[in-house]
Amino acid sequence: MSAPAHALRNDEPSSYAETRAPRVASIDSARAFVRATLLEAPREGVLAITVPAPVTPVEAPLRALRKGTTWVFAPSEGVSVAAIGVAREARASGEARFVEARAACEAMLGQVVHRVDAGALAIPVRAFVGFAFAAGTACAAPWESFGDARVTLPRWTYASDGARASLTLAIDVGRGMDERLALAELEAVYGAIETARRQPSDAATIVRADHLDAARWARSIEAIRSAIERGDARKIVAARRSVITTASDIEPLDVLTRLGETRGPTTRFMARVGSATFLGATPEHLFVQRGTRIATEALAGSIAADAERGGERLVASAKDREEHAYVVRHIVERLAPLCARVAHPDAPQVRRLSTVMHLRTPIEAELARPTHPIDVIAALHPTPAVGGTPVEHAVPWIVQHETERGWYGAPFGWIDARGDAEFVVALRCGVIQGARAWLWAGGGIVEGSDPQAEWDETALKMRPMLRALGCRENGAVR
Ligand X SMILES: C=C(O[C@@H]1C=C(C(=O)O)C=C[C@H]1O)C(=O)O
Q: Is 331 in the site for ligand X (CB under 6 A)?
A: no
Applying CB under 6 A, the span of 95-103, 199-207, 240-248, 300-308 interacting with ligand X comes to: 300-308
Active-site residue among 100, 235, 422, 454? 235
Q: From the CB of 442, what's the least distance to ligand X, in Å?
A: 4
Q: From the CB of 385, what's the least distance to ligand X, in Å?
A: 3
Using only C-alpha atoms, the chain has a radius of gyration, in whole angstroms, of 22
C-alpha 326/C-alpha 328 separation (Å) is: 6
Binding mask 109-148 for ligand X (x = CB under 6 A): ----------------------------------------
C-alpha 239/C-alpha 258 separation (Å) is: 24
Q: Which is nearer to ligand X, 154 or 384 (CB)?
A: 384
C-alpha 336/C-alpha 338 separation (Å) is: 5
Q: Which of 154, 301, 387, 388 binds ligand X (CB under 6 A)?
A: 301
Q: From the CB of 41, what's the least distance to ligand X, in Å?
A: 45
Applying CB under 6 A, the span of 144-152, 219-227, 337-345, 441-449 interacting with ligand X comes to: 441-449
Of 411, 398, 384, 391, the residue nearest 149 (C-alpha): 411
**Does residue 235 carry a catalytic annotation?**
yes
Helix, strand, coil % in the chain, rounded to nearest 5: 30, 30, 40
Q: Which of 30, 49, 193, 385 binds ligand X (CB under 6 A)?
A: 385
Instruction: Compute how many residues bind ligand X; rule: CB under 6 A.
Output: 18
Give one word for 282, left, alpha or beta, with left for phi > 0 and alpha for psi -120 to 50: beta
Q: Is 160 in the site for ligand X (CB under 6 A)?
A: no
Active-site residue among 185, 284, 404, 457? 284
Q: Which of 299, 377, 380, 469 binds ligand X (CB under 6 A)?
A: 299
**Cβ contact 309:357 at 8 Å:** no
Q: Which of 206, 281, 386, 469 binds ligand X (CB under 6 A)?
A: 386
Q: Which is nearer to ligand X, 206 or 459 (CB)?
A: 459
Applying CB under 6 A, the span of 223-231, 266-274, 414-422, 437-445 interacting with ligand X comes to: 437-445
C-alpha 132/C-alpha 221 separation (Å) is: 23
Strand locations in 309-435, DSSP E? 339-343, 349-352, 356-367, 388-389, 411-416, 421-425, 429-433
Q: Is 441 in the site for ligand X (CB under 6 A)?
A: yes
List CB contacts of 61: < 8 A, sequence separation 6 or more.
Answer: 82, 84, 156, 158, 167, 189, 192, 193
Cα–Cα distances in angstroms (integers) from residue 435 to residues 145, 161, 277, 362, 465, in the given order: 18, 33, 12, 39, 15
**Cβ contact 129:411 at 8 Å:** yes
C-alpha 257/C-alpha 202 separation (Å) is: 12
Q: Is 430 in the site for ligand X (CB under 6 A)?
A: no
Q: Is 428 in the site for ligand X (CB under 6 A)?
A: yes
**Cβ contact 148:406 at 8 Å:** no
Q: Is 241 in the site for ligand X (CB under 6 A)?
A: no
Q: Is 426 in the site for ligand X (CB under 6 A)?
A: no
Q: Which is nearer to ligand X, 227 or 386 (CB)?
A: 386
Q: Is 404 in the site for ligand X (CB under 6 A)?
A: no
Residues catalogued as catalytic: 235, 284
Q: Which positions touch ligand X (CB under 6 A)?
A: 237, 239, 284, 299-302, 323, 358, 385-386, 427-428, 441-444, 461
